[in-house]
Structure 1
Amino acid sequence: MKDTIVIGGGPAGLQAALTLGRMRRDVLLVDSGDYRNASVEHAHNFITNDGLAPSEIREQARKEVAAYPTVEQRSARVQSVAREGDGFVAYVDGETVHARTVILATGMRDTLPDVPGLADVWGVEAGQCPFCHGYEIADRTIAVHGVAAHTAMFVTLLRNLSDELVVLPDGDQIDDDTQKTFDDVGVRVVPGTIRSVDRAEGGVRIAAGDQEVLAAGLFVTPTFEQSAPFAEQLGLDMLPSGAIEIDVQGNTSVPGVYAAGDLAHVAELPMPRPSLLGAAAAGLVAGSTAVHDLLGG
């Protein structure tokens, strides 16, 4: 019987395992090797790690966690998790693992807009977070895809990085309030459906309607969903965003199950905020909550 099984080997899961390991808790960390930011070459806005590749950050974290003998790290895939008696049972590549608590840190899966060529530049020339990918393309042309409800806010943020902002509605209609925001901040709108996105020297080439835009970077808002079925299997309460509902301690609606990272958020937030540093912080919170709860078990 493990004290905790941590599912997910990103910063949230690794930090949770580290926190538990430092209190000599018997932990199994299972890492499937699937990462939301797999195509990202450099991570930013993470103090002490700014500019490192996410793979480098994970590798360093694995080495640090390996120093704690009560934590086992396993490259494997969890098929299912279920309540069993006072604890939980997980099936890990056909093996049965029993644990008193579970920390879910499996993240979200992005679905990109159906734009030809976008997947090829995703994570490098195209991204979704101005805090993570904006500074490096400051003072150059920055493009934004679509006109979803939050696009006006998005371009307002980017306006502080560049005077050359281009919005590509890609067939969406622009309402009057959004158009006024675009006019106020000096955004150029290029109408028409996006026909292709290609890597170009110093950035990305976007063919939209009968025009072509050369930009240093392209910001896109993908749709997202849980990357693993465990929330449904455990019957956890979910939020309208598609994320798991947690409280400020990382507790889910099922006692003994905690969630950390961008797969979960508190109800007061409208959606999860993807961030390596935020995920690590959430892993620390979930891990320390599990430690305290295990004291009473």
Structure 2
Amino acid sequence: MTKYDVIVIGGGAAGLSGALALVRSRRSVLLIDDGTPRNAPADGVHNFLTRDGVPPGEIYAIGRQEVAGYGGEFADGTVTTARRDDDGFTVELADGTTYRSRRLLVTTGLTDVLPDVPGLAERWGKDVVHCPYCHGWEVRDQAIGVLATSPMAIHQVLLFRQLSDDVTLFLHTAPEPTEEQWEELAARGISVVQGKVEQLEMTDDRITGVRLESGKVVPRQALAIQTTVRARAGFLVDLGLETTLVETNGVEVGTALQVDGMGATQVPGVFAAGNVSNPMAQVMPSAAAGLMAGAGINFDLITEETRLAVAARSS
């Protein structure tokens, strides 16, 4: 069986960037991807300098061409298990195929768990959005709703207020705002609707309103939501590598792998980058993290190779 210097698991911005850094350092690289990037529903990637508005699939196709141009290899499939062998790692795919490498770079991203409201999943990535920097311009000046599920919704609604004069906060399952927060919402002209949301109203494949459990419908054209994010890293359990909870301002937002500044995890030889280790990262910082992790892996290999060369010379 071919043993690669590095297996990269995940073919998004972080994985492709890490693979590119490695193949340009003359490392043998296999990138394994299951073809389900987090941003697949989005029409375009935004805030990516020189690539603003380009569809995600187009960016990834270009990245694959660049990696392949330096000798990188690709395999389609889902990694189900990763385990340590005598002098490296073996990964197994869902179809039983196995590959071996000296190092692993995990860039599998995360899964967004949406609030349990009918209609959200169907419109996710279109007129149901989560990030004002990723999708805000596209819903500017529309009647925007923000579905609150935690205290973080106050922060979110203030961000979307920058993009439209017509913004409504649906308290849904979030706690009552503090007195200071009520003052901020009023000062910014943000409407607040109490009561639980039952479902989205849609016509011609577009949002037209938000229906409350009371039966009242509030007209809206777009809805911002908060998702709970879960790192796609269950296949690492045999390596003893598990995710940890991530909090923002005391509010749990999901799970992620812990890494250092070069992407190294607590398991020697295993690195991670992108949303799997930083849930807040957009495409550009994910690509930068992949580059840093690729450089970290290359130097880790150089350190090992130098140690072995010195030992061989001394023997």
Query: Normalised by the size of structure 2, how large is the TM-score?
Result: 0.87
C-alpha spacing 1:66/1:170, structure 2 compared with 1 (3 Å): same
| 1:72 equivalent in alignment to 2:73 | yes
Q: Supply the AA of the counterpart residue of 1:195.
A: E
The answer to whether the 8 Å contact 1:192/1:210 transfers is: no
Q: Supply the AA of the counterpart residue of 2:50.
A: T
The answer to whether the 8 Å contact 1:121/1:199 transfers is: no
State the match for 2:91 in structure 1: 90
SS in 2 for 1:284: helix
Q: d(CA) in 2 for partners of 1:124 and 1:51?
A: 14
Q: Supply the AA of the counterpart residue of 1:188.
A: S
State the match for 1:268 in structure 2: none
The answer to whether the 8 Å contact 1:204/1:218 transfers is: no
Q: Supply the AA of the counterpart residue of 2:82.
A: V
State the match for 1:233 in structure 2: 238
Q: d(CA) in 1 for partners of 2:145 and 2:134?
A: 15
Between 1:184-193 and 1:201-210, the stretch displaced more is: 201-210
State the match for 1:102 in structure 2: 104
Structure with higher Rg: it is 2
SS in 1 for 2:155: helix
1:15 is displaced (CA, Å) by 0.9
Between 1:58-67 and 1:114-123, the stretch displaced more is: 58-67
The answer to whether the 8 Å contact 1:237/1:252 transfers is: no
| 1:212 equivalent in alignment to 2:217 | yes
1:176 is displaced (CA, Å) by 2.1
1:16 is displaced (CA, Å) by 0.9
1:77 is displaced (CA, Å) by 1.8
Greater helix share, 1 or 2? 2
Between 1:104-113 and 1:181-190, the stretch displaced more is: 181-190
Cα deviation code 1:34-73 (max 9, x no counterpart): 221222122211111111111111112112212112x111
Q: d(CA) in 2 for partners of 1:127 and 1:280?
A: 22
Structure 1 stretches lacking a partner, 5+ long:
266-271
Cα deviation code 1:130-184 (max 9, x no counterpart): 1001012222221100151211111222222122110112243313243333223
Q: d(CA) in 1 for partners of 2:299 and 2:41?
A: 37
SS in 1 for 2:70: coil
Aligned-pair identity in percent equals 38
Query: Normalised by the size of structure 1, how large is the TM-score?
Result: 0.91
1:200 is displaced (CA, Å) by 4.4
Q: d(CA) in 1 for partners of 2:34 and 2:149?
A: 35
Q: Supply the AA of the counterpart residue of 1:112.
A: L
Structure 2 stretches lacking a partner, 5+ long:
247-254, 305-315
Q: d(CA) in 1 for partners of 2:62 and 2:209?
A: 35
| 1:289 equivalent in alignment to 2:296 | yes
The correspondence of residues 169-248 of structure 1 with structure 2, limited to 5 A, is 169-177=171-179, 178-200=181-203, 203-208=207-212, 209-236=214-241, 238-241=243-246, 242-248=255-261
Q: d(CA) in 1 for partners of 2:211 and 2:89?
A: 52
Cα deviation code 1:241-291 (max 9, x no counterpart): 2100111111110111100111104xxxxxx21411121111111111111
Residue from 142, 145, 151 that aligns with 2:144: 142
State the match for 1:42 in structure 2: 44
Q: d(CA) in 2 for partners of 1:192 and 1:124?
A: 25
C-alpha spacing 1:240/1:171, structure 2 compared with 1 (3 Å): closer
Between 1:273-282 and 1:197-206, the stretch displaced more is: 197-206
State the match for 2:162 in structure 1: 160
The correspondence of residues 267-278 of structure 1 with structure 2, limited to 5 A, is 272-278=279-285
User: What stretches of structure 1 move > 6 A for 4+ residues in a row?
Assistant: none
State the match for 1:2 in structure 2: 4
| 1:24 equivalent in alignment to 2:26 | yes
The answer to whether the 8 Å contact 2:149/2:226 transfers is: no
Q: CA RMSD in A?
A: 1.8
Q: d(CA) in 2 for partners of 1:171 and 1:229?
A: 29
Q: Supply the AA of the counterpart residue of 2:210.
A: I
